[in-house]
Amino acid sequence: MKRATTQELKTFFESLGTDYDLRAPVKLHDGTRVLGGLDEGPLALEGGKIPQKPTSVFFPQFDEVFMVSKDGQFHAAEPVKKPIFVVGFTAQDLDCLEFIDKFFSENYRDDIYFNKRDGAVLVGVSGKCGKDGEFLKIAGGKCDIELISDGECFIVHPHTDKGKALVESLKASECGCGGVKMETLKEESDALPKDDEETIDKASELIRAGKVPDDFWNEIATRCIACTSCNLACPTCTCFEVYDREQDGKMVRQRIWDSCQLDGFMREASGHNPAGLQMQRTHRRIHHKLAADVERWGHRTCMLCGRCDDVCPTDIGIKSVCKEIVERYS
Amino acid sequence: MSVMTKTIAEETGGQIYQPLLCKIGSKRVLTPLETLFRIELPEGRELGHRPGQFVQVSILGYGEAPISISSSPTRKGYFELGVRNAGTLTGAMHELKEGDKIGIRGPFGTFFDAEKLAGKDLVLIAGGCGLAPMRSLIQYCEDRPSEFGKLTILYGAKTPGDRLYKEDLVEWGNSNTFACNYAVDGVPDGACFDEGQVGLITVLIPPLSLDVQNTVAVIVGPPVMYKFVIAELKKKGLTEEQIVVSLERYMKCGVGKCGHCAIEHLYCCIDGPVFWLNEISGIRGAI
Ligand SMILES: Cc1cc2nc3c(=O)[nH]c(=O)nc-3n(C[C@H](O)[C@H](O)[C@H](O)COP(=O)(O)OP(=O)(O)OC[C@H]3O[C@@H](n4cnc5c(N)ncnc54)[C@H](O)[C@@H]3O)c2cc1C
Ligand code: SF4
Ligand code: SF4
Ligand code: FES
């Protein structure tokens, strides 16, 4: 396997720019890490997960549904000009993407999502490159190429044929350790604490068994200010609203992320609102990922990426809520 | 769980959000608030729906809304939508004229399954706007009465003036196919009502004589109605396996993606709107 420096990876990514629409973690001048082009700031592979959900590359905050020309005909959104090449998914982000791929393909296939998703190249980042030196879990798959940091350089592990073919043009030396480094890194990854998984699975079990009373949801609800940050940051949140607007003299239908934490999310024309109480909305936020989705998809759909806990101004992200559930009801 | 009937998206190359422009064949005023639109697909094509399904109706610049199909697939060459002027899209729709174009996606959702209802005595219970989707099943039964047992229609509205499809109500009442019982919650001063009882729709249930083993009840109406109607039906001896409901939720996409219509793990747009009561009885907030 090849072992590359950040500079070598940067040169590699730049060389792909003619064939791909490249998005990689870059540092903006204010210090924020975002997924962007290499012309927007220095490549910043280190620092852990990107604050914004990386799935937004395929399911962006605003997206065109279709356009209507002056003669009244509907035109589907233009197919993407180049396939997307995206760097920076953590192992948890890749789990999230795997789920939303399934979500958008089952039943009716969401052609707008797959317009961007089909043909995309995914590059995961793991190892010793988390925030403040934190070790990021090794994904071991679910992406085309994984960049595994050993603290100095990145071991470049292609997981798919497409990844292998692309990595051939990467100019970097062979690791040359005979696989020893990877073994040690894998051991370190396997030894990462599993407390969060255990807590969330236990909380999911308690919710499903009806052990969490309404009083609890009421209590958490009083701490929610309905800022919607948790939904907007979550890579497995997929809800959207649709509206029409005029753009350059043409009518465009767009979709925009929506939040189940808002009072009007479910309000019907008759005024009936099945989620009219904050308690019902707080319950939904957690119950949906830990109980309803288990029923529908066979697994929970919180992959513990940590974003909602990072952004919630009142400390009621899913991990803290689960901790409270387990402490109080098991 | 979810059913996937063929939709007209297959003709727009699988673009599930792209409406097909269809013609408004005719318009008929039902009440001061509600109008019946007859819609024709291009080149005389059929929508291919089943009773109880809905379409997403679009007017560019005004948005999109789910509307139940109000006519039976046994009536060929068109389909009908009974629409209440409730806001932006439905308001703009009322301004359209015969011959104008309107965007349609669908048909979507689960339906009243004629195969499962075959041979049964049916009690069709509609409240208010619920008569819109129910009418597709009533017309179906009217066209194929031999497929079913005894057919009873119960319809309730707030006042006589709020009643939808008044001509149809008279026709069904006069036909040998149906036993019809109508009610209104109240009669305003100066109005008259001699076609049924004054009271909530639930007053129509106790007097029914049912062959309990062979009866299925179908309920469509405003949210408050379900609990009370179901309780009356249970008193009559019907079980949850013998009750079908159609639920309304805020729907934006119709295809299981936007998340607005979720009832716990079910999406009302693809797993519903039509459910057997036993499929949803344990689900919080469903009824
Ligand atoms: C399965 C289904 C079948 C329906 N069938 C019929 C029918 O046969 N005839 C009929 O007249 N109406 C029907 N409705 C209701 C109809 O969809 C709403 O009246 C319509 O969406 C209002 O849209 P608007 O743009 O006119 O109103 P707006 O100006 O958008 O809003 C007015 C109010 O309607 C609510 N609303 C907006 N969009 C929706 C939506 N997509 N779903 C529910 N509420 C919404 C808003 O929260 C607001 O309170 C049905 C709804 C569903 C879910
Ligand atoms: S940790 Fe929060 S943001 Fe991340 S997947 Fe779970 S619910 Fe979504
Ligand atoms: S981030 Fe926290 S406060 Fe904001 S809506 Fe979500 S739970 Fe409520
Ligand atoms: S209407 Fe969008 S998910 Fe049901």
Q: Please tell me the least confidently modeled range out of A21-30, A177-186, A192-201.
A: A177-186
Nearest CA to ligand 2 atom 2: A308
pLDDT confidence of residue B4: 66
Identify the three-state secondary structure at position A21: strand
Which of B60, B249, B265 has its CB closest to that of A296? B265
**Exposed, middle or buried, B220 (CB in 10 Å: 0-12/13-18/19+)?**
buried
- Judge whether B125 and B154 are in contact, CB under 8 Å: yes
Among A109, A268, A299, pick the best mutation site for testing chain B contact (most B Cβ within 10 A). Answer: A268
- Judge whether A241 and A232 are in contact, CB under 8 Å: no
What is the position in ligand 1's atom list of the atom closest to the CA of B90?
Answer: 26
pLDDT confidence of residue A49: 96
d(CA A15, CA A8): 11
- Judge whether B129 and B155 are in contact, CB under 8 Å: no
**Exposed, middle or buried, A213 (CB in 10 Å: 0-12/13-18/19+)?**
exposed
Any ligand 4 atom below 6 A from CB of B251: yes
Nearest CA to ligand 4 atom 3: B256
Residues in A closer than 8 angstroms to B223, CB to CB, are 270, 272
If you measure from the C-alpha of residue A285 to the centroid of ligand 3, how many angstroms do you get, rounded to a whole number?
9
Banded model confidence at residue A239, pLDDT cuts 50, 70, 90? very high
- Judge whether A10 and A165 are in contact, CB under 8 Å: no
Residue in the block written with tokens 């006069």:
B174
A174, pLDDT greater than 90: no
> Cα–chain-centroid distance for residue B230?
18
Residues in B closer than 8 angstroms to A268, CB to CB, are 248-250
Task: Say yes or no: B158 contacts chain A, CB-CB below 8 A.
Answer: no
pLDDT digits (tens, 9 = 90+) for B71-91: 999 999 999 999 999 899 999
- Judge whether B195 and B169 are in contact, CB under 8 Å: yes
pLDDT confidence of residue B8: 79
Residues in B closer than 8 angstroms to A65, CB to CB, are 17
Identify the three-state secondary structure at position A15: helix
Residue in the block written with tokens 């990072």:
A310
Q: Which ranges of chain A does DSSP label H, i.e. alpha helix?
A: 6-16, 91-105, 111-117, 161-167, 180-190, 195-208, 214-222, 229-233, 278-287, 293-297, 307-311, 318-329
Any ligand 2 atom below 6 A from CB of A87: no
Residues in B closer than 8 angstroms to A293, CB to CB, are 265
d(CA A123, CA B100): 50
- Of B107, B89, B88, the C-alpha closest to B41 is B107
* Domains and their CATH numbers in chain B: 8-108 (2.40.30.10), 114-280 (3.40.50.80)
pLDDT digits (tens, 9 = 90+) for A122-150: 999 999 999 988 999 999 999 999 999 99
- Residue A77: how many CB atoms within 10 A of its CB? 20
Nearest CA to ligand 3 atom 6: A230
Mean pLDDT score across all residues of chain A: 94
Cross-strand partners of A201? none
- Judge whether B96 and B83 are in contact, CB under 8 Å: no
d(CA A95, CA A147): 16
> In this structure, is the dihedral angle defined by the CA atoms of residues B219, B179, B30 and B117, taken in order, positive or negative?
positive
Banded model confidence at residue B11, pLDDT cuts 50, 70, 90? low
If you measure from the C-alpha of residue A240 to the centroid of ligand 4, how many angstroms do you get, rounded to a whole number?
9
List b or e across A138-147, with b for residues whose CB sees 16 or more CB atoms inside 10 angstroms. bbbebbbbbb
- Of B72, B74, B19, B63, the C-alpha closest to B41 is B19
Instruction: Calculate the alpha carbon distances from A30 to A41, A66, B147 in Å.
Output: 10, 35, 71
pLDDT confidence of residue B194: 85
The minimum CA-CA distance between A250 and chain B, rounded to whole Å, is: 10
Q: Would you state the torsion angle of the CA atoms of residues B45, A105, A317, A199, taken in this order, to the nearest 10 degrees?
A: 130
Any ligand 2 atom below 6 A from CB of A35: no
Residues in A closer than 8 angstroms to B279, CB to CB, are none
If you measure from the C-alpha of residue B1 to the centroid of ligand 1, how many angstroms do you get, rounded to a whole number?
24
Instruction: Calculate the alpha carbon distances from A158 to A95, A162, A245, B227 in Å.
Output: 17, 8, 43, 58
- Identify the nearest ligand to the CA of A224 by its number: 3
- Residue A64: how many CB atoms within 10 A of its CB? 17
Strand duo B34-40 + B79-84: pairing: antiparallel
Examine residue B273 and say whether the peptide bond preceding it is cis (omega within 30 degrees of 0).
yes
Q: What is the DSSP letter of A80?
A: P
Banded model confidence at residue A238, pLDDT cuts 50, 70, 90? very high
What ipTM was assigned to the predicted interfaces of this complex?
0.93
Mean pLDDT score across all residues of chain B: 92
Q: Would you state the torsion angle of the CA atoms of residues B93, B97, B101, B104, taken in this order, to the nearest 10 degrees?
A: 40
- Judge whether B43 and B11 are in contact, CB under 8 Å: no
If you measure from the C-alpha of residue B270 to the centroid of ligand 4, how many angstroms do you get, rounded to a whole number?
8
pTM, whole model, 2 decimals?
0.94
pLDDT confidence of residue A78: 82
Banded model confidence at residue B3, pLDDT cuts 50, 70, 90? low
